[in-house]
Structure 1
C-alpha cells in the first residue's frame, strides 16, 4: 500500500505597518517608503532575538525566492531552554540537564500583496497566530545598522508597529447574504490603509477619508428596510473587507415574517482563511501559485491585484 502524500495547512495573514500613536498617523504616510519591500528586507536580514523571556525566535539565513510570484520562502522557529532528564550509564545515575529545545516551520511572504502564509506546526504551538505575532515582534526590533535601512525607513519604523491580522474567509457570510429574504443593513469599518491590492468604490474613498482626516478607522452604513439591499453588490464588498481584515456586519431577514431579523458578522461566522497543499517535493513557484490562486478566489471580482 502506497501512503498518500502529506498535506500541509497554510494560514494566511496580512503584514501591516501601523502607527503606534494616533498623532503619528499622518506622518506615517508622508514617507515615500514601499512597505511591502521594507517588510521583505526586514525578514531577509535573518533576525534572531528574544520575543519572550527564555524564548528566542529566529529567521534562518537560507532564504529562497521566486521572481515570478514576488515571494520569499523562509524557515522561522523558536529556541528555548528546556530541562530534560538524562541517565548516566557508567555511574547508573539520573540527572537534569538544560538543553536547547528547537522547533521551526516554513513561511512564504508575498511582497506585492503583503501576504504571509504560515505552515502549521504543532511542534511550535497549537496557535498559528502565535507564530505570526512572534515574527512581527522580531522584525520590529531590526535597526538601521543591522538591516541597511534608509533614513525614511528607520524613521517610519520608530513610530510604527508591525502586525499580522489573519485574513478572514467570507464564504459562509456571503452565503447568508445571498440566501436572505432581505438585507436591511450593511456596515463596513475601514481601518488604516496598507496592503495595496483591493480598492473598491466604497473602500477607496473611505481609505482616503481615514488617511486625510487622521482617523484610525472610518465606518459607513447602508440601509433599506423596505425592499432591501442588493446582495451581489455587498457580497463583493464583504470579500474585499475580509482580505483586508476590515470589519463587516449585516442585518438580514430570513423571510417576510422575520420582521426583527438577525445580525451576522464575518468575524463571528468565519474561520481564518487557510489552504491545504500536498507540498512535499513541490517547488516554491508551484506552492506560491497555489496560494495566490486561493487568494484570488476569496478576493472580490473587481480586485485590482498587483501580481
Structure 2
C-alpha cells in the first residue's frame, strides 16, 4: 500500500464505505465519484478508474463480472469489518470464492457463536432471500453506504471540571456565630474597675468625677449597653476631647460643655432621692474614698 500514490490510497479508503456488507460493489468509477466524492469535478472519473486499476493490480481489490454486472470486491473486507447487523447483499463475490464466501469465510469455525461463523451465515442469507426482498434491502444498504469518510466526532473537553478526590474528605465545620450579648440598663452598684483607674491616669482625668458624669448621662437618657465597662472606657478616652481645652489654656467652656453641664443639673433635679443616694452614697463614694 505504501508504494501507491495518495489519490489511489484515498480511493481505496472510500471503497470501504461504498461496498455492501459483504465487501462487493458495482465497478463504476462514475458511481463511486457520485457517492463518495460528490463535490469533485467530472474529470476525476478518469483518475478513479486509474486508481481502481492500480488497486486491482496490487491485489487490494478484485474486478470481475457476474450475472452480467461489472463488480469489484475487497478480499479483506470481512476480515477487518465486524458488522453486528449486516443487511442483505444482492451483489455476490467472485464465483471462485465458493458459495459467496471470502477467504476469511473459508476458515470459519464450527462454533456457532464465533464472529466468522456469523459472517458466513450472513452471506448465505443473501442467497436465500427472494428477489423482491433483496432489492428492498439492497436500497437500504446503499443508503447506509452512501456516506462520506469523516473523522469520528470528538467531544469538547469539559471545562471547570474539578477532579474527584480519591478519598472522602470531611467537610470543614462551619464556624459558630458569636451570640450577641443583650443590651441592659446600667446595673445597680456598678463602679469603675482597675482598668478604668489605669485609663484615667493615662488620659489625666478624675475618675470619680467622670464616673458620676457617665452614670448621670446614662440614666437620664435611658442608655442601654451590652458591656458597660467598655462603654465607660470609651467615655474616659473621650473625656479630654470635651474637657481638655477649658482646663489647659483657660478658655471659656464650649457650647457642648455648657449644654452637658445644664443637662446634668436638670437631670439631678428630676432624680428621686433613691437614685441620688445610689449614685452618691453607693458606688461613687466608694471610688472617692
Report the TM-score range of the alignment, normalised by the length of the smaller protein.
under 0.3
- Of structures 1 and 2, the larger Rg is shown by 2
Higher share of residues assigned strand: 1
Q: TM-score scaled to structure 1, two decimals?
A: 0.19
Greater share of helix residues, 1 or 2?
A: 2
- TM normalised by structure 2 equals 0.20
